[in-house]
Amino acid sequence: MSLTATIGKSACILVDFMDSAPSITIRGIRYSFVRKRERQNISVYRSRSAYLRLGPPRLIANERAYSEALLRANFPVPNIIARGTYRGQWYSIEQSIGTKQFGKYFISDCGRTGEISARHMASFIRIVSRYTDAQLATRRKKKDWAAFARSVHLSILQKELPAKSVRLRSAYARAAKRLLLFPFVLSHGDFNPHNIFPRGVIDLEQVCFAPAGYDALTALSHIDMFPDDPSYEYHRLYSFSRRQKESYLAMIDQLFCSAGLPAPSRFAREFRLCRMLWSAARMQRYPRLQKWRYRLLDSML
């Protein structure tokens, strides 16, 4: 599967203010600024029906390549409808797949009734099922555990926690040994309810090849990487009930069984460790949450 991309003709772009432009107009359509990614120099804008990402050529080209690869594999991701350049920056425009992610639905549900609604949970399971079904068709024989270690930021975390470097490496090695039963598949890398809409999946900057099951289990365990205490920089605003977790895992296990693969739920501990490595790294901006995640990680080693 090729992960290359090319950029076509540049379009006329009118930028109202350069560095933190509140709006960009392309071919007569106005895009309003949404956010700038925390660790990448990519600005995200939106119109009524589309999203625009503007940034360094290499980063935009990579994301476009990932999007095209996922589209070819029938993943539920947005269609790319335009692309171009502006003063050394590249942009890519994708069709909007909605305005409210499942994370927001879940938070709203729990704030109102104390639990995620059955309707939203059923919708969540449907789109994850569709995503996972497409994902399993991308399985490959090559298993690059060193590359996956980079994807979950193992070496970064070893530098942050030098006294635990050996334990971190050993824990990852044990998890990898248990997960050898799974093929590597094209993966999102940050598959969680805030990147998942009823109609598809967004934010593809973390795309990688990972053991099948990593994305699916990440979507369920992501929220466990946040404390309940609201005094932290970020805290848990929703949670899955036991019955919802069982229903979700039953769906995932059935898909894997049909594909001739082991049930991921039997390896939840190993997948969760991999996600915990990713979640604990690069948290310097949020020192209290960082310490909390370090403690949680330590309990899993």
What pLDDT band is residue 266 in, cutting at 50, 70 and 90?
very high
The answer to whether residues 66 and 53 touch, using CB atoms and an 8 Å cutoff, is no
Largest CA distance in the chain: 56
pLDDT band with cut points at 50, 70 and 90 for residue 40: confident
Checking if the pLDDT of 286 tops 60, the result is yes
User: Is the separation of the CB atoms in 86 and 54 below 8 Å?
Assistant: yes
Residue 20 pLDDT grade (very low, low, confident, very high; cuts 50, 70, 90): low
Q: What is the pTM of this model?
A: 0.88
Distance, CA of 160 to chain centre: 23
pLDDT greater than 50 at residue 277: yes
Among 67-71, 159-163, 228-232, 246-250, which stretch is predicted with the lowest mean pLDDT?
67-71
pLDDT greater at residue 205 or residue 79 = 79
Within 8 A by CB and 6+ apart from 31, the residues are: 23, 24, 25, 45, 46, 47, 50, 52
Please write the tens of the pLDDT for every residue from 113-125: 999 999 999 999 9
Nearest to 219 by CA among 184, 244, 254, 243: 244
If you average pLDDT over every residue of the chain, what do you get? 91
Residue 86: per-residue pLDDT = 76
- Domains located in the chain, CATH noted: 13-95 (3.30.200.20), 102-300 (3.90.1200.10)
Q: Report the pLDDT averaged over residues 225-252.
A: 97
State how far the Cα of 272 lies from the Cα of 275, in Å rounded to an integer: 5
Nearest alpha carbon to residue 248 among 71, 143, 106:
106
**Tens-digit pLDDT profile for residues 125-144:** 999 999 999 999 999 989 99
Q: Give CB contacts under 8 A, 24+ apart, made by 253-258.
A: 255/129, 255/132, 255/133, 255/136, 256/136, 256/212, 256/213
- The radius of gyration of the chain from alpha carbons, rounded to an integer in Å, stands at 20
Dihedral sign (CA 221, 194, 253, 185): negative
pLDDT tens digit sequence for 194-233: 999 999 999 888 899 999 999 999 999 999 999 999 999 9
Position 154 pLDDT exceeds 50: yes
In this prediction, residue 19 carries a pLDDT of: 54
How high is the pLDDT of residue 267? 98
As a residue count, the chain comes to 301
What residues does 33 pair with on adjacent strands? 45
